[in-house]
Amino acid sequence: MLRHARELLAVRSPLDAELIVSEILGSWWGHRVDLSETGGVEEVIGEALIDYAGRAGTPAALALLTGIGYLGTTRQAAKAEQTALELMDRGVARPGWADRVGMVAHEECYTSKDAYGDQESIVCTYTYGGTERHALVVLVDRNKAEPVGTSAEPAADPAAGMVRDAWVSSQVDKLLDHCRHEGRVNPLMRFEQIDPRDTRALLQSALDFTDATDRPPVNENFGSYHAFVRARIRALPPGGRTPQAQSYSADRRAALAVRFLASDEAEELSDVSAASRCVDRIIDYGCAYDYGRPLRVSPIKCEMFLLDWLPRKVLLSPAEQEAVPHVLAAWVRWAGRISGLPEEGIRATLDAVWGATNAFAESYRDPSAFGLERELVDRLLPDGDLEALPRRAFALPFLSGRHRLSGRHGVIDLATLDPSDTGDRRVMLEFEHPGAPPDHLDSHERLTVRLWEGDPPQLWETAQALLDVGYERHEILHKLIGVLDRDLTGEDLREALRVLRHEPPPE
């Protein structure tokens, strides 16, 4: 990194210098390393780099420290400034751009966004005292892709979206002219000026969401711009407002469904009962997974709904499987009209729906197709949460052998038990653990409830990891109970489960 910093001695522009330092700081951005005993990656690598540069004491080291003083984290910046002062006191030469680095003033902010509401490019222009005008372009994506995992809870409302890419242009007028032209000639694009205060709030929230996400789906070069983006956001004035997710109560969702089913667009839907259940799913998806925007329709959103969310999350009846593409197409026509989406956008979205219909039929796998009785699956999934099937079957394994819910247990007909009912669930656990003391059953019941509800998600992830290395189910249950009996919460519980996932294979 210090050899890379020699390039800082060859540039004259503070903008070029900042971009080089940002690239160096981006070398480790996005890496999730377990350094709990020694500190985070920014401390272990970033602050160690500052110490190393201080010991090197070269002009390149001072140039790097000068850049980190503006672009680093708060701790890095303070440490870099102090170390740079020490080198200057020793007579190390400063680069010519040092007095101007970070001395930027914002000019104007714009948004270039599609009519669907999928993505927008935020364009912010800056100068160094009226010279070296440049534009920062940040791509914000508002299509929710569920993260693989998060290192922490997002620091801001994710309704602002996620930063996916960023770049810098010195051809500001040419860039703005292109955006204005696109906004005039393309009915599916909008270009407008926005308040710098709101821009700062939006970008900070979107960047926080990106930073909090493990393996965020960003452009491969985004890390090189991350520190620069962070610093340029700070250069905008504070006090703005972020987009807020709308809240839809159960009554409001029901009223929206009634409006749709009474519309001309829904008139040709033949199975009204199935259509009603399908539109409930569409609205639920828009509220929970699209930040309270059920009326927003786009090709990408419809494909994600049909090909990702439904096959993974929802148990559909055969009638619903048949109806859902037709209901979604009618919803696109109705919601597109209500929300003012241009006709070109409605047509493109309908094309995406019909294009995904065959793929949906192939990707959706009804559990009954794998030999599971539909009645049994319905009892395991009273809420229709298809994703919960494997962990609930693991918690209450009556799908095979002696655990199957049939026959009698004493005077109780096992086939009548409801696994979602607290009392019935206790009977099932007594059936699996004959003669066990009450406190032992209590521990199994607490774990069963957690697995049934998927709280926290890391519980089932840990169980799967232990299955993969060869542990038997009952061994895993007792290992999980051992963690839960420690009464841990939040990050402490998640950390204990992460440790458990790395248990050596059984001998």
* DSSP characters over 98-114: TTTTT--EEEEEEEEEE
pLDDT score for 38: 57
**b vs e for 20-38, b when ≥16 Cβ sit within 10 Å of the residue's Cβ?**
bbbbbbbebbbeeeeeeee
- Name the domain boundary from 61, 89, 117: 89
Regarding whether 490 and 440 lie in a shared domain, the answer is yes
- 400 pLDDT exceeds 70? no
pLDDT score for 34: 54
Any domain includes 381: no
Confidence band of 31 (pLDDT split at 50, 70, 90):
confident
- Which of 237-246, 306-315, 350-359, 498-507 has the largest mean confidence? 350-359
pLDDT score for 225: 98
Any domain includes 507: no
Any domain includes 374: no
pLDDT score for 375: 75
Regarding whether 115 and 74 lie in a shared domain, the answer is no
287-318 per-position pLDDT tens digit: 988 888 999 999 999 999 999 999 888 888 88
* pTM of the entire predicted model: 0.79
Any domain includes 176: yes
Instruction: Quote the domain boundaries for residue 13.
Output: 4-89
Greater model confidence, 142 or 59: 59
Whether residue 456 has a cis bond before it, omega within 30° of 0: yes
pLDDT score for 387: 85
Regarding whether 341 and 430 lie in a shared domain, the answer is no
Report how many domains make up the chain. Answer: 4
Regarding whether 111 and 80 lie in a shared domain, the answer is no
Distance CA 95, CA 76 (A): 20
pLDDT score for 147: 38
180-199 per-position pLDDT tens digit: 999 999 999 999 999 999 99
Report which secondary-structure segment, H or E, holds 277. helix 272-288
Regarding whether 265 and 228 lie in a shared domain, the answer is no
Regarding whether 432 and 359 lie in a shared domain, the answer is no
- 179 pLDDT exceeds 50? yes
262-287 per-position pLDDT tens digit: 999 999 999 999 999 999 999 999 99
pLDDT score for 32: 64
Confidence band of 411 (pLDDT split at 50, 70, 90):
low
- 368 pLDDT exceeds 80? no
User: What is the CB neighbour count within 10 angstroms for residue 491?
Assistant: 11
Any domain includes 99: no
Q: How much is the average pLDDT of 121-139?
A: 97
Regarding whether 407 and 349 lie in a shared domain, the answer is no
- 404 pLDDT exceeds 50? no
Q: What is the rounded end-to-end Cα distance, in angstroms, of the chain?
A: 45
74-88 per-position pLDDT tens digit: 999 999 999 999 999
Two tokens at 466?
């232990």
Regarding whether 297 and 202 lie in a shared domain, the answer is no
208-243 per-position pLDDT tens digit: 999 988 788 999 999 999 999 999 999 999 999 987
pLDDT score for 374: 75
Any domain includes 154: yes
Any domain includes 384: no
**Which percentage of the chain shows pLDDT scores above 70?**
91
- Tell me how many degrees the CA angle 440-444-445 measures, rounded to the nearest 5: 110
Q: What is the mean pLDDT of the chain?
A: 89
Confidence band of 376 (pLDDT split at 50, 70, 90):
confident
95-106 per-position pLDDT tens digit: 999 999 999 999
- Name the domain boundary from 47, 62, 89: 89
Regarding whether 404 and 291 lie in a shared domain, the answer is no
Regarding whether 146 and 56 lie in a shared domain, the answer is no
pLDDT score for 377: 80
Any domain includes 436: yes
Distance CA 445, CA 439 (A): 10
Regarding whether 230 and 256 lie in a shared domain, the answer is no
Regarding whether 345 and 415 lie in a shared domain, the answer is no
- Name the domain boundary from 208, 234, 260: 234
